[in-house]
Structures are given as C-alpha cells and as structure tokens.
Amino acid sequence: MADKLISNTKRDKLLNKCESLMLQGVDSPTDISESLNVSFNTARSYVTIIKQRWSNYSNTEELQAKRQELIRKTEEVIKEAWTLKNHARNTLEAVGSLRTALMGIERLQKLLGIDSLPIPIEKPVEIQTFELAQEVIALPEEDKSVALSMIREEIKKRAC
C-alpha cells in the first residue's frame, strides 16, 4: 500500500512537471519524455491527461484563477531569467537566460491574448483623405452638399 502511495505521489509530481513543460510550450511527448526521464508512451499519456484536465475546467472563475496564476508564474520566470542573464558567467549562459525570457514573454502574450491581435498600421494622410473623398462621392446629393459644406467650414477654421 505504501508503494502505491509513493508511486502516486511521484506520478503527481511528474504530472505537475509535465504541465509546467507544456505551459512553457513543450508539447512533444518526445521532448517531455527526455525532460522527465520517462518512456515515450508515459509522456504521451501524461500529455493526454494534462489536456483532459485543461478541457475539464468548466467553471469560468476556475479558468480565470488558473490563468492569473499562470500569468504570475510566467512573470516570475521572466524576472528570474533576466536576473540570471545579468549574473551570467559567460555568453552561453546569458543567451540561455535570454531564450528562457523570450519563451516566457511569448507564453505571456498567449495568456494575455495579445499574440493574435492585428497590429494597427496607420495609413498615410493622403490615403485617408482619398478614402474619405470616395465615401463623400458615394453619398446622395443632399448629404454630399452638407458634407462638403462641413469640410469647407473646417478648412476655413484651420486656415485661420
């Protein structure tokens, strides 16, 4: 019975380590098996278990709390990576720390949902003016004359 408890405890620790690796972006059972020193099939089953756990979070509050915890942990990892970079004894250590920080930043972007936002690109003034002119041209005559009157007044105000 004691052996069963120890193996369950060890399994839980390995599952937690597996989840941490997956949160860092390591999804491959091969990489996880190497990191945890377990067989490929065990790593694959751990990945399945973790994904099933994540899909079972049905409560929005639980998901939000877990997300906030992951954000906090990711921020801690990034800070620690920068600290290690500053105290690196050689270039190789510094590069490794910077890679860790970069992976943390990428993970943080995913957690915050800003990795998929389109980058707004400001159009040149000429293009904006052209597009507005096209919209005015497409207006009915009555609305077009009102819009042109407003534009003339605005030009006069800015000229003074």
Domain boundaries, the chain: 1-56, 60-116, 125-159
Say how far residue 129 (Cα) sits from the centre of its chain.
36
Q: Which residue is it, tokens 């599952």?
A: 15
Three-state DSSP at 50 gives helix
Which residue type is seen at 64? Q
Q: Which residue has the tokens 């904006």?
A: 128
- What tens digit of pLDDT does each residue of 144-154 get? 888 888 888 88
pLDDT surpasses 80 at 95: yes
Amino acid identity of residue 145, one-letter, is S
Q: What is the pLDDT of residue 1?
A: 45
Q: In this structure, is the dihedral angle defined by the CA atoms of residues 86, 89, 92 and 97, taken in order, positive or negative?
A: negative
Where is pLDDT greater, at 19 or 159? 19
pLDDT in tens, 106-144: 888 888 877 776 777 777 888 888 888 888 889 898 888
Q: For the chain, report the end-to-end CA distance as a whole number of angstroms.
A: 90
The predicted pLDDT at position 121 comes to 76
